[in-house]
Amino acid sequence: MTCADCSNNAQGDLLLAINGADERLQLALGLADVGGVGEGGVSLLASQEWTVPGQAVRFLVPGVLALLNGVGRSPADVRRIACVTGPGSFTGLRMSLAAAQGMAAGSGALLAGINHLELLAHDAATLPAPTAEEQAAVLALAWSRRAQVYAQAFRAKGDSEAGSKTGDKADNQMDTTLALCPPLALRLEEVPELVATLRQRQTRPLSLLGGGLRRNLPFFEALAATTPALHLLPRRWDAPKPETLLLLAARAQYLPAADIKPVYLRASDAEDNLAAIAAGRGLSAEEAQAILDRGSRTL
């Protein structure tokens, strides 16, 4: 566990951020300055992460409790919980959202969701550049399934979006991102068209990062070799820093008893293979779909 400030005397709202959308399960605990939530006014208290694909359920709740115990707090002390809503791992999203909603139901904490692709892109998109023209746009690529990715592009939000050309406000806006397209579920063969569209709209370089890039590296290396100003970022950019997770959590919109929903973008493997799964259990596809719709029994 990384612990930045384990004093339990600090004042402010305790904020928990959860990211279960990818192979790396991440938790970050922070203290929001009074009036600071929504403005990024939050300091990191402690964080923990595990690279445990397919096993995160064993670590999530014990990890949250250990994180809180480490700074002398309890789940009842958490006033805000932000959870990455996707797109990403179906199991990881369901697990982390269920944990967040369960904690909020017991403690009355406010809830908010975080876009996984924005989280992935944030640091690279807001990295300072000598000029605005050299500020790279970033295409975040998360793993979806074999030969498929989730994709969304971002760039730093500049002065024109800030509504001010001078002062701290404009500077702060450069630490936020602007989406250049909606989140998409794409087959690999559809990615070059998206890249071409983004390059036509933006004169700036385009950087790629994320698990979707890493797990399809030969494809993207070939694409980069034939596409000007297309850069593949190294592995260290594939997972967000806990400080970034906490920053986006502090800026998220919180609501009481909000029922935050997962963002899937595509049908699950089980849904796509429902007929075969049903046949293996002696059911017709129609019977299996009815059970799935009712949610009354697990196939």
Residue 62: partners with Cβ closer than 8 Å, 6 or more residues away: none
Q: What is the spatial order of strands in the sheet that 255-256 belongs to?
A: 2-3, 42-51, 24-32, 13-19, 78-86, 110-115, 255-256
Please report the pLDDT score of residue 114 as a whole number: 97
Q: Peptide bond before 256: cis, by omega within 30 degrees of 0?
A: no
Q: Does domain 118-237 have CATH number 3.30.420.200?
A: yes
| Residue corresponding to tokens 């602007």 | 178
As a whole number, mean pLDDT of residues 243-269 equals 88
Structure tokens at 296: 């009354």
249 pLDDT exceeds 60?
A: yes
pLDDT digits 0-9 by tens, 196-232: 999 988 778 999 999 999 999 999 999 999 999 999 9
Structure tokens at 139: 């295409």
Total Cβ atoms within 10 A of residue 95: 18
Residue 110: partners with Cβ closer than 8 Å, 6 or more residues away: 79, 80, 81, 104, 254, 255, 256, 258
34 pLDDT exceeds 90?
A: no
> What letters, b where the CB count within 10 A reaches 16 and e where it falls short, cover 246-274?
bbbbbbbebeeeeebebbbbeeeeeeeeb
Please report the pLDDT score of residue 124 as a whole number: 95
Please report the pLDDT score of residue 167 as a whole number: 42
Average pLDDT, rounded, for the chain: 85
As a whole number, mean pLDDT of residues 134-150 equals 92
| Residue corresponding to tokens 């071409």 | 196
Structure tokens at 4: 């930045």
Please report the pLDDT score of residue 169 as a whole number: 42
Please report, as a single letter, which amino acid is at residue 283.
Answer: L
H or E segment at 198?
Answer: helix 191-201
Task: Residue 78: name the closest of 221, 261, 293, 254 by CA.
Answer: 254
Domain 2-116+240-256: which CATH number of 3.40.630.30, 3.40.1280.10, 3.30.420.40, 1.20.120.450: 3.30.420.40
d(CA 223, CA 226): 6
CA 192 to mean position of chain CA atoms: 23
Instruction: Report residue 170's pLDDT band, with 50, 70 and 90 as the boundaries.
Output: very low
Of 60-74, 145-159, 167-181, 189-203, least confident by mean pLDDT is: 167-181
Strands 78-86 and 13-19, sheet pairing = parallel
d(CA 64, CA 230): 39
pLDDT digits 0-9 by tens, 40-88: 578 999 999 999 888 888 999 999 999 999 999 999 999 999 999 999 9
In the chain, ranges of CATH 3.30.420.200 domains: 118-237
Task: Residue 238: name the closest of 135, 149, 128, 119 by CA.
Answer: 119
Instruction: Report residue 174's pLDDT band, with 50, 70 and 90 as the boundaries.
Output: low
In the chain, ranges of CATH 3.30.420.40 domains: 2-116+240-256
Please report, as a single letter, which amino acid is at residue 101.
Answer: Q
